[in-house]
Amino acid sequence: MTTLHIVDDDEAIRDALGWLFQSRNVPVSGWPSAEAFLEAWRPDTAGCLLLDIRMEGMSGLELFDRLLAKGCRMPVIFLTGHGDVPIAVGALKKGARDFVEKPFNDNELVDRVIDALAADAEQREREAGQAGLAARLGTLTQRERQVMELVVAGRLNKVIADELGISMRTVEVHRSHVFEKMRVKTAVELARLLTGAS
């Protein structure tokens, strides 16, 4: 299981949460400030975030914004003692996964964190697939990409040849290169790859 990152400037709370989660076999890493986590964050940082709102220095909300700007898509659960409806609504509408007020129910929080960790793992798996796809797309030449787009659009080779002003034979060559590079055997498989089908 991947890690739960706890960001809270109160060491006592970090420790208490650390205890709680470790006792449930959830790996934890603690951060004393938003700045510290923001600094350490990398695009491949996995897991989920448990974020206190009110902290010395950068607030949890601002950290969330900065992470979003950096392209972070990790699930974020806010934890706060002084909840406020507009803040909660704003956070959720920006994509936070949850917003929990202290005092919280231990079991409930653990469940939500576990769900979030699972969601993150699932999403990373999907993205890994997409990355492989993107890498293969990157090996295509311009012409191959053009031909591929027309193939996926359902055009026949002769039509593609017409539209690109080249011979059918050339289209066939590019087409077969595309199939080879994308590791598919038929146009339908290619279309499914690109339109993101199961």
Distance between CA atoms of residues 166 and 164, nearest Å: 6
- Choose, by CB under 7 A, the member of 114, 164, 193, 194 that binds DNA: 164
189 binds its own copies (CB under 8 A): yes
| Exposure class string for 22-51: b at 16+ Cβ within 10 A, else e | eeeebebebbbbbbbbbeebeeebebbbbb
Which x/- pattern, by CB under 8 A, does the window 41-60 give for its own copies? --------------------
Distance between CA atoms of residues 48 and 114, nearest Å: 9
106 binds DNA (CB under 7 A): no
Q: Least distance from C-beta 174 to DNA, angstroms?
A: 6
| Nearest of 7, 2, 75, 77 to residue 39 by alpha carbon | 7
- Choose, by CB under 8 A, the member of 38, 45, 66, 83 that binds its own copies: 83
Identify which range of 1-9, 28-36, 67-75, 182-190 contacts its own copies by CB under 8 A.
182-190
Residue 26 or 161: which CB sits closer to DNA? Answer: 161
Residue 85: which of its own copies, DNA, none does it interact with, CB under 5 to 8 A by kind? its own copies
Distance between CA atoms of residues 59 and 87, nearest Å: 12
Residue 69: which of DNA, its own copies, none does it interact with, CB under 5 to 8 A by kind? none
CA distances from 92 to 55, 76, 89, 106, 153 (A): 19, 9, 5, 21, 38
- Whether the ω angle into residue 103 lies within 30 degrees of 0, i.e. cis, is yes
| Nearest of 160, 198, 194 to residue 179 by alpha carbon | 194
Instruction: Give the footprint of DNA on residues 109-128 (CB under 7 A).
Output: none
Q: How many residues does the chain have?
A: 198
Residue 115 or 172: which CB sits closer to DNA? Answer: 172
- Choose, by CB under 7 A, the member of 144, 148, 150, 182 that binds DNA: 144
Instruction: List residues binding DNA (CB under 7 A).
Output: 141-144, 156-158, 164, 166-170, 172-176, 179, 186-187
